[in-house]
Amino acid sequence: MNGWPIVKLGDCAEIARGSSPRPINDSAYFDKGTIPWVKIADATASFKYIYETKEYVNDYGASFSRKLPPGSLIVAASGTLGFAIFLGVEGCVHDGWMYFKRIDEGKLHKQFLYYLLNTLTKSFNAFSYGAAIQNINTDILRNTAFRIPPLNVQKNIAAILSAYDELIENNQRRIALLDKMAEESYREWFVRLRFPGHEKTRFIKGVPEGWDFDKASMFFGLAKGKSYAGEELTDDMDHMPFINLKSFNRGGGYREDGLKYYSGRFKPEQVVHQNDVVMAVTDMTQDRAVIGRVARMPDLGEKGAVISLDTVKLVPKSIHKTFLYAYMRHSGFANFIKEFANGANVLHLKPDLITQQKIIVPPKQLQNEFAPMVEPLYAEADLLEVTNRRLEKMRDALLHRLISGKLPVKNLDIQFPSSMAEDAHG
């Protein structure tokens, strides 16, 4: 890092603010919309690039916003301050985002800038403003000072970190494919009803003979999670892993991001082990809605993990655990049960309402045939998740050392990843 000059970001790039149509809830901006409307929740649910959004604006709505091309680098002005991400598609950014209209490519490499910004999120909090919601503005971003390495060093740093991110993103695509294969298997057997032997099965009012239609309580019970105080959560891995709302993907499935450890007391029934099924019964925010979503627990150690009061464990009685997970994940039950949630600021679902609903369950023999078909898919996805967590930790350990110059890369013979192929000869 010796000799690296200190520059302000505004000296290397032109920064602008996104824009929102008002009032933001007017359907006129969204009816028949086809242009991605990028929200913070879309970014946090994505990886390095945003390819999909939950909402879309039409041309009228886009005229009041900022439509950006693929490859644009955007930065969160509120929420996770300074969180940076690329657009993988053309999309509109609202006034909760800042974006780079121009980057001086002779001074600053865009991929390096992405990694640099994601090392500065904590420092942005010191300069933020706002009582309830913290914000940063374009002036704060323009005046952000940092040591800037030579352009070839920037490219080498970005190449090393991008190689990790490409591996992680490839694994994420494989996980999504495995999930889709499991869902298709479930739908083929239990929605389209083309299960083995369906040709010879008698159907009564559209339901195969021998299938049970009864309250969910006949098939599984519930174990409620543990209430907790903030001081009982720690990063100390000597304590029990703690499963809370951050442990759920928006579409279902387990995520390890932000895993904490619990130092308080708990009951045996509040402990989960590998392959146990856990459901979220509270929502974090409207954008991060997970009520009714289920996660299948990975191997979190011999002692297992403690579940929070925002979750419940589904305890099988006369149902195969793997089928139970597939049913809760792929049948549409989550979207159905979340309609029973209520609350002023935070939505909550009364756990007992889950087991009061009637569900259709195939014979145990059919469940037993289905389980070994999808279990390898779930297991491989779990292994890829573990691999990704390890890759992320390795990348994050390198990130600060590379950006700070503590790990020199100037003379390294770097193999550029495919996402930076255009820089290999730059």
pLDDT by residue (tens digit) across 82-112?
789 999 999 999 999 999 999 999 999 999 9
Give every CB contact of residue 51 below 8 A, 6+ residues apart in sequence.
Answer: 88, 89
C-alpha closest to that of 306 among 253, 222, 243:
243
pLDDT tens figures, 287-296: 567 899 999 9
Residue 68: is its pLDDT beyond 90?
A: yes
Instruction: List residues bridging with 277 in a β-sheet.
Output: 296, 314
Strands 271-272 and 49-50: unpaired
DSSP alpha helices (H): ranges in 210-363?
321-330, 333-337, 352-356
| Confidence check: pLDDT of 1 > 60 | no
Lowest mean pLDDT among 36-40, 44-48, 174-178: 44-48
Per-residue pLDDT for 372 more than 80?
yes
Residue with tokens 């000072």: 145
For residues 229 and 424, the model is more confident at 229
What is each CA distance from 294 to 78, 105, 298, in whole angstroms? 29, 45, 13
Q: For 351-360, write each residue's pLDDT tens digit.
A: 999 999 999 9
Which DSSP helix (H) or strand (E) runs through 153?
helix 151-190
Q: What is the pTM of this model?
A: 0.82
Angle between helices 364-404 and 110-117 (to 10 degrees): 100
Who's near 344: CB < 8 A, 6+ residues apart?
Answer: none
Q: What are the structural domains, with CATH classification, of the chain?
A: 6-148 (3.90.220.20), 151-202+363-426 (1.10.287), 212-361 (3.90.220.20)
The single-letter code of the amino acid at 237 is: M
Rounded mean pLDDT, 5-25: 93
Say what the pLDDT of residue 345 is: 74
Distances (CA, A) of 328 to 60, 89, 177, 210, 277: 39, 32, 19, 21, 9
Bigger pLDDT: 172 vs 122: 172
